[in-house]
Chain A
């Protein structure tokens, strides 16, 4: 996605949101949903639209772990590592996932921890995009990888 198209789509997102009180987070969410990340050089555009400084917008982006300023891997798997899932083997699942994806191309699939998807009675759980998976056994994880077409 070249920079010019970025600026356009960001501009339309901003204009649709900027008059809402506390509009920064909604704007950042929409940009990340549209482009997969928040381009650092769009921060000036966002800041001036909201009459903030670049530093303030940068401070907010770096505070929240959900936001990222680099393009994401093709797939991102967020595995819950909180206590409930730990009690049902989340750590083993993370190890398994890492081994399983070791062979995959760089930038193909990234495994990230997340702290609680609210599926604590059906642990261990993970989320791919907005798709949830519960009681994930290593086998179930492997099937999921195949369905997602990730070559390892």
Chain B
């Protein structure tokens, strides 16, 4: 730092999660925090066709509170809700869900974890008893076999990918289960011992056939199972899995992967020593997302790969605080610590602490909010640090729903896609401007420390407090540490957590309480959180999203290293030099068949919609499968994703969309409409200044990003 200006950002050698390593985003792409696009003044407008009007914080908050109360009076208590961001801090997420359950008086709060790892929460809770990964990142150093399924770590989790590569370089074996030929399959000094290029949407079939091999070839860790797992559930599971229909041979034409490859991988996983499974959104973002997660837990329990270093079931989370936002109760059906709202003892605990009555029924999930908005029963929303228009599937459906609502309050650091449909815009604060904590995929709570004063006067948690007051519910905290103290008081797995201890230890992995005063690096050591591990039958059910004559290809989506999630931050840094636009990757055979040139424009149609991207002919793909990323709004990647979703958690099925791809000469209708619409919104933003005629005041900050550009 130099005063309150960032000079450079380097990874901390003592960082227990990264141990002195970073990737291009964290190391360099922090310029967005002082980018000129930052909106620094609250704004309001009556209708989304009116120009924005800059107002004072008081006026904006009063307007928002008044609108919410008006809507509740008109449409009922459940007509408004809130969305928690997985990029904001634990403390901020906690306050938003508290605001909804107290000031709003209902449980209509959800988080974007819905669209990424909600199946993990559900699946691991059912089988192991806790909705979180079982290991530390460091434990990969003790793995002898590493299985990566539905994840592309070198692009989406680069820092952990480097730690994994270090282990692979000195001897660990690698199994990659992914439709694409991702870097881990083969890149300098790294070569997967088994690559199972399955068809998208057939994870459960693959996992069942692996389990089949383990069961029928006598590779079960029988004494581990006898000691640690529920016997009846195991018997049922074992008999189900042993059925010939689950054999690799039977599953071959479903997954498209030769049986002996599957058998080889299964034997390696079962007998190769410490075996760890790492999985990502390629497992969860399916119609059978939760089933696949349970299938993974089954494999770990069946081979005893749980409860020590080097093993485990490890979800690779989509964003920096997805784990945290789930932990602090941002789901409509759960209070902090994964305790169901219907559990009256927990509910009374919170009612007593917060002094309000909490509804016993789960509130609306995000997809339900859209449906309710369209049938006129959900009219108001408070959306903090989230861009559901770009990140949620079936964009037209989302925008239609938002257009039907009467008061959307968006709190973010930039004017994002959702804000184009908003009536109140409250300037947000970046991680450099506030104190708080993030929790990563290994349940590690780490401190976020303020290095510069908030650019727009308030940190995000302060805005939520002020909004609550305006709605008649007082929350008074002098510092986020007090919010964490409240979480700790009310949540058993967080009892021992405090800022003071975090400063002492550097970071803590929950559960952290009297039994585990210093946190829990590895979980389920002697017993499972639910006592005995529970095997659950994972019957393969093909997704409804079928390839047809009209839509013969399958589209799957993912990430690229230089861009992050919806790209709000990274698109405003020099990272665009690596990745300027979302590209559609297609197999040479499929491209040739359709006369598609490398670099040419192609139209992608699905039953939900159509968009146009540049094509890249790539050997990484398998015939019949195309791939793209969703970092740029104008690509409209989510225009074509469908409303299919996981049966248990509504996590959207991003990974499987039947599409047709054809060379085109001009952008899609949606894109034309989108360009016009965003142009209009930009103009409405431009003359938002109260008579001052110019845009948000251009504060002379030595914007570092600017000096580079």
Contact = CB atoms under 8 A, between A and B. Distances in A.
Interface of A: 47-48, 51-53, 56
Contacts of A47: 188
Which 9 pairs from chain A and chain B are nearest by CB?
A53-B188, A52-B188, A51-B191, A51-B188, A51-B189, A51-B186, A56-B188, A47-B188, A52-B189
Interface in B148-197: 186-191
Contacts of B191: 51
A56 B191 CA distance: 17
Nearest to A55: B188
A50 B68 CA distance: 64
Contacts of B188: 47, 51-53, 56
Contacts of A53: 188
Interface string B189-228: 1110000000000000000000000000000000000000
Contacts of B190: 51
Nearest to A56: B188
A48 B189 CA distance: 10
Nearest to B189: A51
A52 B188 CA distance: 4
Nearest to B191: A51
B279 to A, nearest CB: 25
Contacts of B187: 51
Interface of B: 186-191
Contacts of B186: 48, 51
Nearest to A47: B188
A51 B185 CA distance: 11
Nearest to A52: B188
A56 B188 CA distance: 9
12 contacts: A47-B188, A48-B186, A51-B186, A51-B187, A51-B188, A51-B189, A51-B190, A51-B191, A52-B188, A52-B189, A53-B188, A56-B188
Nearest to A50: B188
Contacts of B189: 51-52
A132 B186 CA distance: 45
B596 to A, nearest CB: 23
A83 B191 CA distance: 48
A52 B191 CA distance: 11
Residue from the set B188, B189, B190 with the largest chain A CB neighbour count within 10 Å: B188
A48 B190 CA distance: 11
Contacts of A52: 188-189
A20 B293 CA distance: 42
A35 to B, nearest CB: 25
A136 B303 CA distance: 75
B192 to A, nearest CB: 11
A52 B186 CA distance: 10
A53 to B, nearest CB: 4
B56 to A, nearest CB: 57
B707 to A, nearest CB: 30
Contacts of A51: 186-191
B13 to A, nearest CB: 26
Interface-central residue, A47, A51, A52, A56, by most chain B CB under 10 Å: A51
Nearest to A54: B188
Nearest to A48: B186
Contacts of A56: 188
Given A51-B189, A52-B188, A56-B188, 7 more contacts: A47-B188, A51-B186, A51-B187, A51-B188, A51-B191, A52-B189, A53-B188
A140 to B, nearest CB: 50
B197 to A, nearest CB: 18
B182 to A, nearest CB: 15
A19 to B, nearest CB: 13
A60 to B, nearest CB: 13
Nearest to B188: A53
B222 to A, nearest CB: 39
B170 to A, nearest CB: 16
A46 B189 CA distance: 14
A85 to B, nearest CB: 42
B81 to A, nearest CB: 50
B169 to A, nearest CB: 12
A151 B188 CA distance: 48
A47 B187 CA distance: 10
A74 to B, nearest CB: 37
A88 to B, nearest CB: 48
A51 B187 CA distance: 6
Nearest to B190: A51
A123 to B, nearest CB: 45
A64 B178 CA distance: 40
A51 B191 CA distance: 8
A47 B188 CA distance: 8
Contacts of A48: 186
B168 to A, nearest CB: 12
A53 B165 CA distance: 15
A51 B192 CA distance: 12
A56 to B, nearest CB: 7
A51 B188 CA distance: 5
A22 to B, nearest CB: 14
B181 to A, nearest CB: 12
A51 B189 CA distance: 6
A69 B36 CA distance: 48
A53 B189 CA distance: 8
A100 B297 CA distance: 80
A47 B191 CA distance: 13
A45 to B, nearest CB: 14
A139 B83 CA distance: 92
A37 to B, nearest CB: 24
A121 to B, nearest CB: 47
A90 B191 CA distance: 51
B147 to A, nearest CB: 21
A11 to B, nearest CB: 15
A35 B182 CA distance: 34
A53 B188 CA distance: 5
A42 B187 CA distance: 17
A47 B189 CA distance: 10
A52 B189 CA distance: 6
A58 to B, nearest CB: 13
A116 to B, nearest CB: 36
A38 B205 CA distance: 48
A26 B188 CA distance: 19
